[in-house]
């Protein structure tokens, strides 16, 4: 377990094996319960309606959605219209451990990657509170993760995020462009049938 972490960009801390295998299995079971209550849906790009290559859902008081109307947070599932399930306690514990005393997270995005899925370079900037870090946890197959600077044209570097790894984007990297170039199929036995699940915790509103 990597307790210290590696700074891969200013303010971007990579903690390898932050969760051991039993903890990963327990969290995967909790996320399966989240998905049962809030089924996966396919987000679509604003304006064009082009589908993402990942499927997703959310847990916590708020959830991130994307459709032809734009990117936004809302308190209910776009299809079922029911409130999002509660965030698993294990995720809240990770936030407490690694978010540097930031106010509690309000949204956890659950992105499910099949072998061919990817995520283009983007910034996480739909939140009102941009001072709290973004905390990301990987489960399942390893991915090739790319991170740059706060301008799209800034140089980038790539690392391989494996199951149980945590990545914290804070400080100068809070608005860094980042994405997933590819998933390395068969690199983990955690998820039956393969694939990757990424859990991204975010503070959305400014704490009073």
Give the CATH number of the domain where residue 180 resides. Answer: 2.60.120.590
Per-residue pLDDT tens over the stretch 138-165? 999 999 999 999 999 999 999 999 999 9
Rounded Cα distance between 200 and 205, Å, is 16
In a domain, 207, yes or no: no
Phi, psi of 98 (to 5 degrees): -120, -5
Please give the pLDDT value at position 17. Answer: 95
pLDDT at position 208 over 90 = no
Please give the pLDDT value at position 195. Answer: 97
In a domain, 104, yes or no: yes
In a domain, 55, yes or no: yes
Instruction: Write the DSSP string, 88-150.
Output: PHHHHHHHHHHSTTPPPP-EEEEEEE-TT--EEEE-----S--SSPEEEEEEES-EEEEE--S
Rounded Cα distance between 38 and 76, Å, is 9
CA–CA distances in Å: residue 28 to residues 129, 176, 195, 199: 28, 28, 12, 10
In a domain, 1, yes or no: no
Structure confidence at residue 3 as a pLDDT band (50, 70, 90): low
Please give the pLDDT value at position 121. Answer: 94
Per-residue pLDDT tens over the stretch 94-115? 999 999 999 999 999 999 999 9
In a domain, 208, yes or no: no
Indicate the number of domains in the chain.
Answer: 1
In a domain, 190, yes or no: yes
In a domain, 73, yes or no: yes
Domain residue limits at 117: 6-202
In a domain, 20, yes or no: yes
């Amino acid at each position: 377990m990597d307790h210290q972490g590696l700074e891969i960009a200013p303010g971007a801390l990579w903690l390898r094996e932050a969760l051991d295998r039993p903890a990963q299995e327990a969290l995967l079971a909790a996320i399966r319960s989240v998905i049962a209550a809030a089924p996966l849906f396919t987000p679509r790009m604003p304006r064009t309606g082009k589908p993402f290559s990942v499927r997703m859902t959310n847990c916590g008081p708020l959830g991130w959605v994307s459709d032809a109307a734009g990117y936004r947070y809302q308190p209910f599932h776009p299809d079922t219209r029911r409130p999002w399930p509660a965030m698993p306690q294990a995720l809240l514990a990770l936030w407490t451990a690694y978010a540097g005393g930031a106010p509690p997270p309000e949204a956890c995005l659950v992105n499910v990657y099949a072998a061919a899925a990817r995520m283009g370079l983007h910034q996480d900037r739909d939140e009102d509170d941009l001072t709290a870090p973004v905390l990301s946890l990987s489960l399942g197959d390893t991915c090739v993760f790319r991170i740059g600077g706060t301008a799209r044209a800034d140089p980038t570097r790539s690392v391989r995020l494996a199951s149980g790894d945590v990545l914290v984007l804070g400080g100068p990297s809070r608005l860094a462009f980042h994405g997933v170039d590819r998933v390395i199929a068969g690199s983990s036995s955690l998820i039956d049938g393969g694939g990757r699940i990424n859990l991204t915790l975010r503070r959305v509103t400014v704490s009073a």
